[in-house]
């Protein structure tokens, strides 16, 4: 019977099993854990594992009539989740050197992603001293036997892949006992499951190939993007337009060339980005908010010869000065409207035919995923901007790292007002959803605090991204019901104030999940999630990221975070060596951030290594000073910098928009909170508006000039 069923599954589902050698490596005492996508998952494990495992089955589920035929075929162990003795009996069974199968999620996913992972299976693995064998099932979520009908494109017989990864063991401190040990085992199991999802993901693919893949999965008619013009675009139209525009751009550029893109958040920008991917050009996303000097500097650094932009955008954004400055540097500026006027019926027909059979016309070279995919320019909040070159593999790895921890799916709608020239806006708010089948609404400015909440309400957005500055602005002007549909809000790029977090939770009933990263890390390194959330921290490191904390003289708690992983950039483009790629040393990236990490792996940012002042021999965190000032005056914006001081080495200067700020008030508050006098700014400079970058982060270069 087992042989016949296996042949039927192979025939109908083209089942492919990878990593069979890992099954033998696991030995005899093994706990097999797998993600749970459909009602046929258990059958897949039963049919395609070399040996028949013992299935742990919820006693109440085992009583269902439709499970009874399957249970007669397999060895099973009924578990009563309300009876602790049943778990002990399960542990004793595994100790008899048996292979046992458990689905740690306890239920079939309704999102297509990893859902809640129960602590029980982790405790069973720990107590039985068993090897853990992770198994990834993929493709079963598209069968009629999943719970995703109406959420994804269901196919009668999709291809199913079963990947057996290398066996793992838990390493839990022997001193941890009782509930704490159970909790620790649960976290270990969750990390193992998310690591399994990442390790078995296909992140070694080009971005345009992933767009084609998603069109096959969700269908050409699946709407994927919309902007303020309210003209939605589906995968079929996106791919067709990429072929048409790409063929036109290819006439003015060379393969591998860095091509400037100066466009706001709109559908046309996405088409331009992927059109460049199709023809093997590298889009260099230009930050038009920093002025012509920085933009021209960026063009020189990346040796950009051509910029693609829009006449309408240049006029509305009053960017004529930047365009003229670029032309003076002999940089060719091409308007998309002019290209549209050149497209004839033959071009459209050719693009349409290519769009019907995209795989036949898109043939990337071998290992193309290792090539540069985009150039982003650092915001320059603390110095001269640099070009950051990210490969296809970098971006793909980071989106799969996030996908292994956050349960999002095709039924979600992302609202993205963060600029696409910023890493958070491009990779987090644009590429992650577009390459995952998630519809995204693009809005050109995050500064419209009254309009953005109204559009979130109107579009029924479920996921949004923002910085503290923008999120606090939306919260002040939004109606109480504007965010009724929002499931998750992810904050990054700057520290999330407690007042902002509290306001969103109390007024709108929405939790903000704070994360952390850098342009150089594509960008996410860590994030809080619905499963693991600790306010005040930036969450836990994502899977497949190595790290080390380097001691910093004068800093007692924590160290400088240095990271390595598949999401770390290919390298820098520097102004002193234009066009030359400078890779990170030994693959490690020095974040320059001083962080501490607790026993569960939650990271707390202490501040930038550069943002510490040495006052009277003591190291003072400028970030920590800003943090307590934001608690004292929660509805104002503050920036703290240091200047040379003849007596104490350095002195703190507060730049704030609070019109009645007094040093005496700060000193009194600091004393009440037990904060030392060295952390009280010596000088206060009141301004109408604290300088900000286009990304919403504080412009510390301008702040420093004001302070000096």
Q: Which residues are part of the catalytic machinery?
A: 36
d(CA 620, CA 357): 60
What is the secondary structure of 462-510 as a DSSP string?
-EEEE-HHHHHHHHHHS-TTTTTT--EEEE-SSPPPHHHHHHIIIII--
**Cis ω on the peptide bond leading into residue 523 (within 30° of 0)?**
yes
- HSE at residue 158, side-chain half, CA atoms within 13 A, is 22
CA 134 to chain centre: 24
Phi, then psi, of 653 in degrees rounded to 5: -125, 125
370: left (phi over 0), alpha (psi -120 to 50) or beta: alpha
Q: Of the candidates 221, 278, 247, 439, which has an alpha carbon nearest to the alpha carbon of residue 342?
A: 247
Question: Three-class SS of residue 235?
Answer: helix
Helices (H), 14-67: 20-25, 41-48, 59-62
- HSE at residue 99, side-chain half, CA atoms within 13 A, is 19
Can you count the helices (H) and strands (E) in the chain? 26, 33
What is the secondary structure of 597-656 as a DSSP string?
E-TT-BEEEEEEGGGEEEETTEEEEHHHHHHHHHHHSTTS-EEEEEEEETTTEEEEEEEE
Residue 317 vs residues 263, 267, 648: alpha-carbon distances, Å: 10, 17, 46
Query: β-pairing, 439-442 with 612-615?
Result: unpaired
d(CA 229, CA 500): 31
C-beta of residue 136 within 8 angstroms of C-beta of residue 165: yes
C-beta of residue 416 within 8 angstroms of C-beta of residue 441: yes
Only one residue has tokens 């897949």, namely: 44
d(CA 589, CA 608): 14
Q: How many CB atoms lie within 10 A of CB 428?
A: 28
Q: Of the candidates 378, 389, 398, 403, which has an alpha carbon nearest to the alpha carbon of residue 567?
A: 398
Q: In this structure, what token pair is assigned to residue 310?
A: 């829009």
- Contact residues for 586 (Cβ-Cβ < 8 A; gap 6+): 564
Classify each residue of 330-363 as buried b or exposed e, where b means 16 or more C-beta atoms within 10 Å of its C-beta: ebebbbbeebeeeeeeeeeebbeebbeebeebbe
d(CA 46, CA 6): 9
Query: Rounded to the nearest 10 degrees, how much is the dihedral formed by the CA atoms of 118, 119, 123, 125?
Result: 40
């Amino acid at each position: 019977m087992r042989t016949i069923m296996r042949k039927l599954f192979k025939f109908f589902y083209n089942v492919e099993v990878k990593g069979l050698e890992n099954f033998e490596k696991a030995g005899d005492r093994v706990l097999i854990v797998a993600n749970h996508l459909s009602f046929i998952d258990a059958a897949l494990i039963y049919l395609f594992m070399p040996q028949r495992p013992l299935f742990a089955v919820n006693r109440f589920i085992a009583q269902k009539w439709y499970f009874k035929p399957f249970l007669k075929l397999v060895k099973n162990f009924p578990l009563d989740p309300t009876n602790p003795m049943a778990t002990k009996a399960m542990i004793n069974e595994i100790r008899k050197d048996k292979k046992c199968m458990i689905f740690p999620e306890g239920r079939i996913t309704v999102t297509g992603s990893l859902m809640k992972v129960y602590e029980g299976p982790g405790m069973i693995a720990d107590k039985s001293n068993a090897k853990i064998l992770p198994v990834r099932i993929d493709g079963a979520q598209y069968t009629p036997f999943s719970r995703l009908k109406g959420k994804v494109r269901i196919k009668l017989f999709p291809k199913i892949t079963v990947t057996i990864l290398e066996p793992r063991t838990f390493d839990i401190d022997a001193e941890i006992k009782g509930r704490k040990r159970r909790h620790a085992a649960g976290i270990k199991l969750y990390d193992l499951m998310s690591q399994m999802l990442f390790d078995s993901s296909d992140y070694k693919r080009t971005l345009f190939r992933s767009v084609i893949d998603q069109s096959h999965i969700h269908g050409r008619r699946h709407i994927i993007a919309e902007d303020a013009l309210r003209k939605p675009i589906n995968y079929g139209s996106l791919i067709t337009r990429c072929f048409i525009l790409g063929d036109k751009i290819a006439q003015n550029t060379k393969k591998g060339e860095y091509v400037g893109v100066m466009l706001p958040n709109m559908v046309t920008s996405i088409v331009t980005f992927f059109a460049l991917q199709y023809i093997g050009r590298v889009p260099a996303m230009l930050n038009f908010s920093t002025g012509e000097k920085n933009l021209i500097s960026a063009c020189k650094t990346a040796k950009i010869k051509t910029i693609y932009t829009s006449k309408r955008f240049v006029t509305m954004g009053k960017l004529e000065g930047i365009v003229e400055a670029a032309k003076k540097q002999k940089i060719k500026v091409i308007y998309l409207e002019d290209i549209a006027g050149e497209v004839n019926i033959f071009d459209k027909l050719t693009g349409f035919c290519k769009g019907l059979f995209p795989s036949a016309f898109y043939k990337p070279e071998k290992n193309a995923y290792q090539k540069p995919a985009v150039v982003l320019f650092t915001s320059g909040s603390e110095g001269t901007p640099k070009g950051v070159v990210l490969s296809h593999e970098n971006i793909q790895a980071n989106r799969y790292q996030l996908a292994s921890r956050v349960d999002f799916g095709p039924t979600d709608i992302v609202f993205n007002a963060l600029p696409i020239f910023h890493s958070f806006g491009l990779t987090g708010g644009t590429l992650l959803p577009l390459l995952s089948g998630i519809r995204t609404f693009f809005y050109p400015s995050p500064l419209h605090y009254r309009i953005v909440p109204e559009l979130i309400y109107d579009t029924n957005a479920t996921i949004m991204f923002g910085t503290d500055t923008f999120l606090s602005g939306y919260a002040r002007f939004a109606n109480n019901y504007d965010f009724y549909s929002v499931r998750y809000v992810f904050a990054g790029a700057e520290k999330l104030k407690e007042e902002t977090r509290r306001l969103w939770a109390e007024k709108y009933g929405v939790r903000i999940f704070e994360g952390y990263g850098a342009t150089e890390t594509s960008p996410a390194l860590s994030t809080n999630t619905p499963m693991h959330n600790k306010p005040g921290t930036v969450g836990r490191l994502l899977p497949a990221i190595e790290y080390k904390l380097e001691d910093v003289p004068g800093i007692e708690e924590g160290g400088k975070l240095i990271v390595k992983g598949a999401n770390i950039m290919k390298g820098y483009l520097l102004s002193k060596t234009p066009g030359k790629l400078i890779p990170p040393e030994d693959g490690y990236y020095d974040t320059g951030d001083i962080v501490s990490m607790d026993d569960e792996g939650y990271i707390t940012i202490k501040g930038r290594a550069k943002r510490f002042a040495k006052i009277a021999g003591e190291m003072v965190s400028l970030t920590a000073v800003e943090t307590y000032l934001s608690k004292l005056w929660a509805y104002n914006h503050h920036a703290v910098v240091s200047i040379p001081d003849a007596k104490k080495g350095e002195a703190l200067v507060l730049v704030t928009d609070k019109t009645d700020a007094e040093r005496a008030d700060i000193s009194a508050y600091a004393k009440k909170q037990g904060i030392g006098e060295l952390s009280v700014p010596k000088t206060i400079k009141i301004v109408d508006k604290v300088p900000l970058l286009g990304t919403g982060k504080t412009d510390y270069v301008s702040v420093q000039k004001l302070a000096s």
